[in-house]
Amino acid sequence: MGKSYRVAVVPGDGTGPEVIAEGLKVLKAASAKYGFKLNLSHYDLGGERYKRTGEILSDETIEELRKFDAIYLGAIGHPDVKAGILEKGILLKLRFALDQYINLRPVKLYAGVDTPLKDKKPEDIDFVVVRENTEGLYAGAGGFLKKGTADEIATQESINTRKGVERCVRFAFEYCRKRNKAKKLTLCGKTNVLTYAFDLWERTFYEVAREYPDIKTEYAHVDATSMWMIKNPEWFDVIVTDNLFGDIITDLGAMIQGGMGIAAGGNINPEGVSMFEPIGGSAPKYTGLNVVNPLAAIMAGQMMLETLGEETAAAAIEKAVMKVVAEKTKSMSAGQMGYSTSEVGSLVAGLI
Ligand code: IPM
Ligand code: MN
């Protein structure tokens, strides 16, 4: 008898429910084939619920979510709700409360997917970004003084703790070793300007590096990293960076791997409950049209299985996705796949 996992499903806003439905279709096919069980509990969180009830995310819900083996999330963000309310109130609150201190974002070009980078092939674009996920400029430190006056002051401070930085860096070294490809870890920072925050990062990085003599280390400023991701993406194996830089370079990464339609990520707490999501967002203009690409959500489900320890099933999902993008879909963009959202989900599920 296979194992059984309790998964909280949060379809969320916009196209979130549509892509999560396809992800679940694929996960169900995998569970039937590989003999593990998924006990799903749906949670209604997001902009619609907030508009209806005024509730964003209660402490009780967080306590309930803590008890699951994983969380499968669609998208959070609603055009009628002021920017920041749902993002901070749901997505960031969950990442922080569940101490999901790693945001793991693979950047991998599959054969048959178009990249805007001329002459770059699948073997050139295959790296993973380990983004710190609970600190930095996202910690919410700062505030206003004399708001709304001519003398207004706004501050926003980047919080970097030795513990927070070290556990992230350590995860990246371990991940790089386990991935076992080029075995090269790049620290992406800005030591030439952010001389406190990235001084701590750099010292921590090279101290921890001594415990990993098999891993090559390298440092790159974030601006240069952005340049090289376009010019020489093949230089990267694993990149570790802070929260904001990780946010920015993974959108860039999503574009070079073919777009938001295929980019997935995991908010990982290696000692607790992790949460998996397509990184694209709620895409309100496509809501309900059955045109968005569900592959990012499907790959988020794939990462979830891998993290839960169902590695064979996870590998089967990736293989199925690779076959669908190589042989079926015309594009990764909404409305241009040559298939509807639900058809793409069925194509992948059918290959499991
Ligand atoms: C992401 C998103 C979030 C972030 C937003 C929605 C708060 O852009 O997951 O990358 O900045 O982390
Ligand atoms: Mn982002």
**pLDDT above 70 as % of the chain:** 100
Q: How far, in Å, CA of 118 to CA of 350, rounded?
A: 33
Nearest-atom number in ligand 1 for the CA of 133 is 12
Question: Is the pLDDT score of 20 beyond 80?
Answer: yes
pLDDT at residue 329 in the model: 96
The single-letter code of the amino acid at 315 is A
Q: Which tokens sit at 107?
A: 């950047």
Pairing between β-strand 238-241 and β-strand 126-132 as defined by DSSP bridges: parallel
The pLDDT of 163-170, averaged and rounded, is 98
Asked whether 247 lines ligand 1 (CB < 6 A), one says: yes
Q: Which tokens sit at 51?
A: 């508009």
What is the Cα gyration radius of the chain? 20
pLDDT at residue 1 in the model: 63
- What angle in degrees, to the nearest 10, is found between the helix axes of 311-327 and 295-308? 160
Q: Which ligand is closest in space to the CA of residue 105?
A: 1
Counting ligand 1 atoms within 8 A of each CB, the residue from 13, 88, 247 with the most, and so the one to mutate, is 247
- pLDDT tens-digit series, residues 102-133: 999 999 999 999 999 999 999 999 999 999 99
For residue 222, what pLDDT band results from cuts at 50, 70 and 90? very high
Domains of the chain: 1-113+261-352 (3.40.718.10), 116-256 (3.40.718.10)
Asked whether 252 lines ligand 1 (CB < 6 A), one says: no
- pLDDT tens-digit series, residues 142-158: 999 999 999 999 999 99
The single-letter code of the amino acid at 276 is F
In the structure, ligand 2 is a single-atom ion and the residues with CB under 5 Å from it are 247
Pairing between β-strand 136-145 and β-strand 153-159 as defined by DSSP bridges: antiparallel
The pLDDT of 194-215, averaged and rounded, is 98
Q: Which ligand is closest in space to the CA of residue 90?
A: 1
CB atoms within 10 A of CB 303: 23
Asked whether 91 lines ligand 1 (CB < 6 A), one says: yes
- pLDDT tens-digit series, residues 279-325: 988 999 999 999 999 999 999 999 999 999 999 999 999 999 999 99
- pLDDT tens-digit series, residues 64-106: 999 999 999 999 999 999 999 999 999 999 999 999 999 999 9
The pLDDT of 229-251, averaged and rounded, is 98
The pLDDT of 324-332, averaged and rounded, is 96
Residue-averaged pLDDT of the chain: 97
Model pTM?
Answer: 0.97
Q: How far, in Å, CA of 254 to CA of 241, rounded?
A: 16
For residue 2, what pLDDT band results from cuts at 50, 70 and 90? confident
Nearest-atom number in ligand 1 for the CA of 243 is 12
- Which residue puts its alpha carbon closest to atom 10 of ligand 1? 247
For residue 30, what pLDDT band results from cuts at 50, 70 and 90? very high
Task: Report the Cα–Cα distance between both ends of the chain, in Å, rounded.
Answer: 19
